[in-house]
Structure formats: C-alpha cells, structure tokens
Amino acid sequence: MGFAFSLFNSWQAETVKGDIPMTKQKVLLVGHGMVGQRFLEALADRGGLDHYDVTILCAESRPAYDRVGLTRYFTERDADALSLVPDGFMAQPGLTLKLSTRVREIDRDARVVITEAGERLDYDKLVLATGSYPFVPPIDGNDRPNCFVYRTLDDLDEIIAAADQARIGTVVGGGLLGLEAAKALHDLGLETHVVEFAPRLMAVQVDDLGGGLLKDKIETLGVTVHTSTGTRAIVDGEQHRHRMDFGEDHHLETDIIVFSAGIRPEDSLARASGLELGERGGVVIDDYCLTSDPDIFAIGEVALWQGRIFGLVAPGYQMAETAAARLCADSEPSFQGADMSTKLKLMGVDVASVGDAHGQTPGARSAVFFDQSTGVYKKVVVSECGKKLLGAVLVGDANDYGNLLQLCLNQIDLPGEAAALIAPAAGDAPMLGADALPDSAQICSCNNVSKGALCAAIDDGATTVGDLKACTKASATCGGCAALVKQVLDSELAKRGVEVNNHVCEHFPYSRQEIYHLVRVGEIKTFDELLEKHGSGDGCDICKPLVASVLASCWNDYVLSKPHAGLQDTNDYFLGNMQRDGTYSIVPRVPGGEITPDKLIVLGEVAKKYDLYTKITGGQRVDLFGARVEQLPEIWKILVDAGFETGHAYGKSLRTVKSCVGSTWCRYGVKDSVGTAIQVEERYKGLRSPHKIKMAVSGCTRECAEAQSKDVGVIATDKGWNLYVCGNGGMRPRHADLLASDLSDEQLIRTIDRFLMFYIRTADRLQRTSVWLENLEGGLDYLKQVVLEDSLGIGDELEAQMLQVIDTYQCEWKTTVEDPEAVKRFKHFVNDDVADDNLHYVRERGQRRPAYEHERIDLVQQEG
C-alpha cells in the first residue's frame, strides 16, 4: 500500500482519526499466537514497519505456532514443524520479539506496560492478542496430578510424558477441542473416554441426530463416549490413579484426565486496567478493533464484538487485518463479524456445519437425509419461502460443504428443491460453478479472500494457484478452499482469452498423466523417442526429469545409462543429495530400521575414515554427510561390498519404511511389524514415482511407528492389518485415511501394489500422495472402488506392472561402482582430478559441519 505522506500531520497526542505517524512510533503486541502473528504480517504487508517499531511480548517460550494442528505434535514430536513464523521474518527492522515474557500490568495513563520481571515498556499503541484460556469446571479434585488442559505445546509434552505410565485417558468436554484431545490420547495408545455434560457431542455445531451419529462413529473407532454426564468429584481410584464420580454409583476410573470443556477470554490484564468488558468477559471492541481506550486494540479470542466472542481462527485473522489497516491509516477493512461455518475431520469422521444449523431463524424449515447403515447424516435448513439456504449439518460425508456454504453465504436462490441438495441420487445435485458466485463471495474464510480479490489478482498478472496464494493468501492456511480457488482461476483465465491447460511445458502439450500413458502404451524407452513422436524442441529442466521419472517407473532401466543420464537433476545424476556446501550425503538403505552390529561398524568406519558428519534420521537409518563428489564411488564401493544398497534418498522414490519392534520384543505388539516392514521395503525399493514415498508399519494400535502420517501406513490389529494411505508431514501435514481393514499378509501386499501403481499412473508432476488424493475426483470412495473393488478392471494390470518393476530392480550404486565408465563422471572439475579446495568446516559436538558465511570468512583470513 502506498502512502500520501504530504497529507499527514506529525503524530501528536490528539492525532486526527485516520492519520499515520510521520516518525516511528512504538507499538506493543501482547500475545504472539496465530492471530498475533497474522497482525504482524498484515502490518508488514502494508508497509507499517516503516512507521512503527513493534515489540512482541510472548508469554510462551516459543514464537507463534499452529494451535489448530496441535494433534500433529503427538505423531511428529516436532515443534518447529508447527511454527507460523517464516524464516527471517523476525529479523526485519522494526520487530523485536521477547519470549517467556509475561505482562503483569498496563498503566494506561502513562502508556506503559510492566512485565512480571519488572521491565517497563512504553507504547504509543497497544495491541492485545492474549487469546483465551481453557475452562476447567469447578470440580473437587480438578487440580490432582495427571490432570491437564489441552492448549499449548508445553501441555502436550506433559500429556505425552504421563501417557507412558498410563493405560486409560479421559477427556472432559465433547466439543471440537475435546474430540481433538481424545484423538491425541487415542493416538498415544490409551483406552480413551470422552465425558460430555450436554446430551450430544459438538452441541454448538450439530443437532441431536447428527450428534448421535457422530457418537456412534467415534465409538466404532474405539473411543467410549459418555454424554449427559457431569463429574461431581475426582478422587483416588482403586485400579487407576483417578476415579471420576458421576453420581448414583456411576463412576469411571482413569489414569489421565484432560480438561477441554471450552475456553474463556484471557482478559485479566484488560480488566485490571479498567478497559470496558462484556458482562461475561471479553474486551469490548468497535468495528476497527479499538477498545474503550483509543490507543489500545484487542484482536482474536480476547475481543468481544457486538456481544460475541469468536472462537475460530478465521475471525481472529480478520480482526488482525483490521487493526493493522487502522494503524496504517486505512479505514478498510472494518470488522463486520464472521461466518462460523466449519468443516472438520474428527478422528477420521467428516463433520461440517453451515450457517443456522439449528434452524433458529423464524419460519425456517428443514430437509433431512439419514442413513445409519452407511453412517451419513445431512440436514439443510431453508427459509420459509424455500428459496434461500440458511444452514446445514453434515456428518459422515461433507463433500457438499463447499456448495452449501456458497449458497448460504451469498444468499443465492436454490437451484432446485432443498432435498435435492443432500439426496443420495445426489451425484446429480446442482453444483455451483465459479461463475455463479458474486465478486463478494468469500472463497477463503481463513484469510477473508473474496472472489473479487482473486479476480483483481488475476487482472494484475496471477496465472497460477501459487501466484494467487502468494499475493492474496487464499488457500495458504488450511487449504480447504484450494479446489474453489483453482476453479475461479481457470474460469477467469478463460474469460480473458488465456488458454487453460495442464501441459508440463512448452515442449510437450500433455499432462504428466498423458505422458505416462504415451510411454506405457507406446512402449517408449527413451526421452529422444518420446520427443520425436510427441514433443518439440530440445526439452527443458521441467520435462527432462519428469520423463526420466516416468521411464523409470515403467521400465526401471539404470538411470545413469547413456540415454537417461542427461535427463537427471543434480541429485539423481550423482546418486546423492547435494548439501549446502556442495558436498553430498551417503544414505544406505536400512530396511525396516533393522541393522546388524557388523553393518553398524562398517558405517562407523566409513564415517571415521572420511570424516563424515553422522546423523540417525527420523526414518530409522544413518545418514553420512560431507562426502566430496570424487569420494562417492570409493565410499559406496566399501558399502556395497559390506552388503549395503542405495537408500534412494536422492530420488523421487521409496525412501524408508519405519517400524516399531512389534511382537518381536514389545509386550503390546500383536504382529511382526519389523518383518513386514522389511518385506515391504525390499519389495518397493527403487520404485520411482511422482514424488518421494514414505511408509511405516506399527505392530499395534499404540502406533509407535507413526504410520498414520505416511504415504503408506500399516497398523497391526488382532484381526489383521489396517492400511492407511496419503498421509504426510512437511509444510502442510495431512493425516492418512483408512483405505482397508483386517487385511491378511497377501491382501496387504496386493492392495499396496495397486494403490502405488494407480498413484504413479495418475498423479501430477511432483505431487505427493496427499495432494493427489485431495484432487482425485471422487476422493477416498473412488480410490477404494478402484483399488479394492477393481471398478475399472485394471487390478491385474496394476499388479503386473508392479511386478515388472520389482523383477528389474538393481542397486544403482552397485551398478555404478562396477562400471569404470560410470565412475568417471564423479569429478569436481570436468578437466581436472583435483578436489574442491573451497570447503571449510568447523568442529561441533565432536563432528565437523560446513562453516557458516561469517565463520568461513574468518577461516579464509586465518589461512591467508
């Protein structure tokens, strides 16, 4: 945003409403959660850091992280993966972050904030983003040991530690957060109970029938639900740590109790400083998020707007944008409330609520579809005239959510009878296209991005979803609107005469899927042959590695043979991951994480001989870092002679199959997870695919191998194997979906064969299985039909194609070290055998690592 500075007066105590300071003023942000971070980003985007020095006072020891995704922490145990602060963001001039800094007092008269440590910080403007705190019901015994709340990463660490010594865990509260907490306890391997005072789960979002079905589905997953149940006291148990007394001789014994019975605004600072509060708490704000003090803003769950506290992140983000805009002298946007519609997946169960889900609008009428056998409940609420959608409830199948939400938000006349929107014949229910939406339609609720804003960005040159995400933040938070964003993009580009295609590049007028079929059906074995028959030009760095991957997926030839070597990217060309200093990693395969002492000794001897940095990874193998390119063949010769094979850490292929110790050693294990993991890894090693693939096998439902966060996850039960697919960690983690249950060993392998080959056949370039499934028409149900029911009649074909890959496997490093011509390519200089003399290292924790730039300069000066 540009600023007409000639119009602004210098900042005074009596600043004219709407002005921006000419000299830098001080802003204090109290609270650094999701909403606080969004405020900082919005202020920076508007150029506000040119005019304000912002100090952030964060009570926690970590900067802002994703509270919505807290349950991921139980499987990944990686706090950094939840961080919401982009690299380098806090290094911007004008930002100062103080962690573990609690505020004790606000002196409004002096415009000073006093921390618990006694530090006094003055401000010109103060922003309260203190959020909320968990409500703990006033029950006798609620402060006993092993009674927790579910709010911060520190809370989760305490729960994880306690779970190691527990067998039963209980959550008090059956709302959204309560069910998230229940999932966490269930994932920790505890017998899990949910105790809810109301007569149904998620009482705010769903009605009685929907809540009842949700209860049934969650209990089917192994969680016991107690509704209409209030806890009178918590006392010592006989068999377990606690006994929860419900009255009339009704009780429950448990080892852990997690309170997740709602939230309350954290308004104690505001209350003590005399700001206006609501009758039941919350700091009163106007449409610009200003409190009763014109120098103090309140945003997020601490703020009360027109008598309402908003407990979702999207309204908090809108408040953050509003406050930042106000500080930058922009009267727009003002906060005008927020839609509280939600779409969730709770313990694998789809749940959605739109608008007036309970039909409280006068004259409202409902249409209901309820199929208990399939576990699907849908209700739509329409106006008295029958032409407008007022609300909806969906349990078990939320595929209609996007369509219903747009009908409701934009008050579009219904395209037919209300019942047709949810009837099972349904596939023919009229769906809204992007063209039917007005410019005011909210496409991304998390970031309050309208269709009009997307169209404006397209007018300014955005031509991809990535462009739109970068300039508008649409689909950048939860990603739930990604399909609709793409729909708007394609529609608007077509209107502007821009051809919309999915061609991989200018050399091939085909998608990746089409190139795969051309190669497979035409039995094309080289890039040159494909280019001659179906392409043009010489190729590029997009199509060459793509075709190389497709050729490897189909025919599994040696990737460094003469026709293929020139297609590979740097990592595949040198069969190792290039590191930041130009050296490479050595990653042998360790199937299932099982390794003999002799092989461990070999790895140690190699690392010691070549002074390689050694790291045991999350995938249960040993990575050796710092090998120069000319050292790679001689190191791999030693490893191959010792029986190691390449781990394909450099390729878009199977990386690892993680395992727990299973029934071999663990007293909880019900099947041999190690043996199965080794079998699976040996079968699919070397399988080239559109993106990397990670797998895991857990020997029981305690899930120590974290299989439900993998592309392919296998979990043992007393009835067989459960197969989960399309999960992943990374920048946008996704919980895997259950594809099949109670599989025999033979059925498990056959199902994985079909799933992987169907993914390889149909996925886009560099598309993870998780994104592939989200974009697969028909979603998980369609995938089940293809893989389990063989609806396309290609099951035998997929299995045969997989068998061909398995039968033609070769260790690429073994082939390389046995071929003198192939070894010749491993040189730092094409015309000289000398090594790279520009490498500099420092010793740290007994190992060497690449020097950072400032260290490298010092080392060069010392050497010079």
pLDDT of residue 20: 63
Per-residue model confidence as pLDDT tens digits over 812-853: 999 999 998 888 888 766 555 666 667 778 888 888 888 877
**Cβ count near 704 (within 10 Å):** 19
Residue 449 parent element (H or E): strand 449-450
* Nearest by Cα to 510 from 520, 652, 756, 771: 520
Q: Stretch 683-702: mean pLDDT, rounded?
A: 93
Backbone angles phi, psi at 626, to 5 degrees: 105, 15
pLDDT of residue 22: 64
Residue 47 Rama label (left phi>0; alpha psi -120 to 50; beta): left
Q: Stretch 477-504: mean pLDDT, rounded?
A: 74
pLDDT of residue 332: 65
Q: At 519, is the pLDDT very low, low, confident or very high (cuts 50, 70, 90)?
A: very high
Q: At 142, is the pLDDT very low, low, confident or very high (cuts 50, 70, 90)?
A: very high
DSSP string, 488-499: HHHHHHHHTTPP
pLDDT of residue 500: 67
pLDDT at position 15 over 70 = no
pLDDT of residue 426: 40
What amino acid is encoded at 500 in this protein? V
Pairing of strands 349-355, 342-346: antiparallel
Pairing of strands 376-382, 296-298: unpaired
Q: Which of 67-76, 349-358, 407-416 has the lowest mean pLDDT?
A: 67-76
Please list, residue by residue across 774-788, b when 16 or more beta carbons sit within 10 angstroms of its beta carbon and e when fewer do. bebeeeeeebbebbb
Mention every residue, 6+ apart, whose C-beta is less than 8 A from residue 297: 125, 126, 127, 128, 285, 289, 290, 291, 323, 326
Q: Write down the mean pLDDT value for the chain.
A: 86
Q: At 248, is the pLDDT very low, low, confident or very high (cuts 50, 70, 90)?
A: confident
Per-residue model confidence as pLDDT tens digits over 343-395: 776 666 778 888 888 888 888 888 888 877 777 888 889 988 888 889 888 88
Per-residue model confidence as pLDDT tens digits over 699-750: 998 899 999 999 999 999 989 999 999 998 765 678 899 999 999 999 999 9
- Domains (range + CATH), the chain: 5-133+265-327 (3.50.50.60), 147-261 (3.50.50.60), 512-568 (no CATH), 647-807 (3.30.413.10)
Of 404 and 805, the one with more pLDDT: 805
Residue 686 in contact with residue 648, Cβ under 8 Å? yes
Per-residue model confidence as pLDDT tens digits over 159-213: 999 998 999 999 999 888 888 889 889 888 899 999 999 898 888 778 888 888 8
Q: Which of 337-351, 389-403, 506-520 has the lowest mean pLDDT?
A: 337-351
Strand, coil or helix: 743? strand
pLDDT of residue 817: 92
Q: Which of 343-347, 527-531, 618-622 has the lowest mean pLDDT?
A: 343-347
Task: Report DSSP state, residue 700.
Answer: S
The answer on whether 660 is annotated among ligand-binding residues is yes
Q: Stretch 3-23: mean pLDDT, rounded?
A: 41
pLDDT at position 274 over 90 = yes
Strand, coil or helix: 226? strand
Q: Per the structure block, which two tokens stand in for 668?
A: 């909880």
The answer on whether 666 is annotated among ligand-binding residues is yes
pLDDT of residue 418: 76
Percent of the chain with pLDDT over 90: 48
pLDDT at position 277 over 70 = yes
Q: Which of 49-58, 565-574, 743-752 has the lowest mean pLDDT?
A: 565-574
pLDDT at position 10 over 50 = no
Provide the β-strand partners of residue 366. 381
Per-residue model confidence as pLDDT tens digits over 776-802: 888 898 999 999 999 999 999 999 999
Q: Which of 15-24, 370-379, 586-595, 777-786 has the lowest mean pLDDT?
A: 15-24
* Nearest by Cα to 699 from 712, 713, 685: 713
What amino acid is encoded at 292 in this protein? S
pLDDT of residue 263: 87
Q: Which of 229-238, 430-439, 469-478, 707-716 has the lowest mean pLDDT?
A: 430-439
Q: At 499, is the pLDDT very low, low, confident or very high (cuts 50, 70, 90)?
A: low
Residue 549 parent element (H or E): helix 543-555
Angle between helices 795-807 and 745-762 (to 10 degrees): 90
pLDDT of residue 14: 35
Backbone angles phi, psi at 298, to 5 degrees: -135, 135
Integer-rounded Cα radius of gyration of the chain:
29
The answer on whether 385 is annotated among ligand-binding residues is no
Task: Report DSSP state, residue 588.
Answer: B
Q: At 447, is the pLDDT very low, low, confident or very high (cuts 50, 70, 90)?
A: confident
Tell me which residue has tokens 């007569």.
199
Q: Stretch 604-626: mean pLDDT, rounded?
A: 92
pLDDT at position 428 over 60 = no
Angle between helices 451-459 and 465-472 (to 10 degrees): 110
Please list, residue by residue across 514-526, b when 16 or more beta carbons sit within 10 angstroms of its beta carbon and e when fewer do. ebbebbbeeebeb
pLDDT of residue 272: 95
Cβ neighbourhood burial of 237 (10 Å; 0-12, 13-18, 19+): middle
Residue 156 in contact with residue 78, Cβ under 8 Å? no
Q: Stretch 62-90: mean pLDDT, rounded?
A: 83
Tell me which residue has tokens 């029938």.
209
Of 133 and 331, the one with more pLDDT: 133
Q: Per the structure block, which two tokens stand in for 585?
A: 């990693």
Backbone angles phi, psi at 501, to 5 degrees: -140, 170
